[in-house]
Amino acid sequence: MRLAPVSLSLVESILAKPVLDEKGMILVGAGVKLSERMITRLKQLGVSSLYIEDKRTDDIVIVDAVSDETRRSAVNTVYNSMLQMIDSERGARRASRPQIGREISKVFQDILADLKANRTGLINLASIFTVDGYLYHHSVNVAILATALGLAKGYGQKEITELGVGALLHDIGCTKVPQEILNKPGRYSDLEFELMKKHAEWGYEMLREQDGISLLSAHVAYQHHERNDGSGYPRGLKGDEIHEYSKIVGMCDVYEALTSKRFHREAFLPHEALEFILGGSTALFDLSLVRLFAKNVAVYPIGMTVKLNTDETAVVVSLNPEYPQRPVVRLLTDETGRRLDSPYDIDLTKELTMMIVSYNE
DSSP assignment of 167-225 equals HHTTTGGGGGS-HHHHT-SSPPPHHHHHHHHTHHHHHHHHHHT-TTS-HHHHHHHHHTT
pLDDT at site 22: 86
Quick one: which of 329, 324, 291 has its CA closest to 310?
Answer: 329
| pLDDT score of 130 | 76
The pLDDT of 110-134, averaged and rounded, is 80
Q: Which carries the bigger pLDDT value, residue 268 or residue 305?
A: 305
Q: Residue 120: which pLDDT band, with cuts at 50, 70 and 90? A: low
What's the rounded mean pLDDT across residues 287-297? 90
Q: How confident is the model at residue 40 (pLDDT cuts 50, 70, 90)?
A: very high
Identity of the highest mean pLDDT range in 58-72, 223-237, 254-268? 223-237
Taken as a whole, the chain contains a residue count of 361
Residue 229 CA to residue 13 CA, distance in Å, equals 48
Q: What is the mean pLDDT of residues 25-42?
A: 93
pLDDT, tens digit (0-9, with 9 covering 90-100), for 333-346: 999 989 998 899 99
pTM to 2 decimals?
0.88
Instruction: Please say whether the dihedral angle defined by the alpha carbons of residues 32, 37, 40 and 45, taken in this order, is positive or negative.
Output: negative
Angle, helices 270-279 vs 287-296, to 10°: value is 160
Instruction: Judge whether 298 and 318 are in contact, CB under 8 Å.
Output: no
The reported pLDDT for the residue numbered 92 is 52
Give the 3-state secondary structure of 43-79: HHCCCCEEEECCHHHCCCCCCCCCCHHHHHHHHHHHH
CB–CB of 320/327 below 8 Å?
Answer: yes
Q: Quickly state the pLDDT bin for 298 (edges 50, 70, 90).
A: confident
The listed range with the strongest mean pLDDT (45-59, 184-198, 244-258, 267-281) is: 244-258
Across the chain, mean pLDDT equals 88
**CB-based contact 93:79 (threshold 8 Å):** no
What's the pLDDT band for 295 if we cut at 50, 70, 90? confident
Residue 274 contacts residue 325 (beta carbons within 8 Å): no
CB 51 within 8 A of CB 3: yes
pLDDT at 264 over 70: no
Report the b/e string of 138-151 with b at 16+ CB within 10 A: bbbbbbbbbbbbbb
pLDDT of the residue at 159 = 97
Tell me the average pLDDT across 278-290: 90
Q: Give tens-digit pLDDT for 72-109.
A: 999 999 999 998 887 776 655 455 566 788 999 999 99
310-321 mean pLDDT: 90
Question: Which is it for the CA torsion 217, 180, 74, 277, positive or negative?
Answer: negative
What pLDDT sits at residue 271? 80
Q: How many CB atoms lie within 10 A of CB 91?
A: 6
pLDDT for 361:
52
Element (H, E) at 111: helix 101-117
| Best CA proximity match to 26, nearest among 104, 129, 125, 111 | 129
Q: What is the largest CA-CA distance in the chain?
A: 68
| CA–centroid distance for 210 within its chain | 26
SS3 labels along 297-355: ECCCCCCEEEEECCCCEEEEEECCCCCCCCCEEEEEECCCCCEEEEEEEEECCCCCCCC
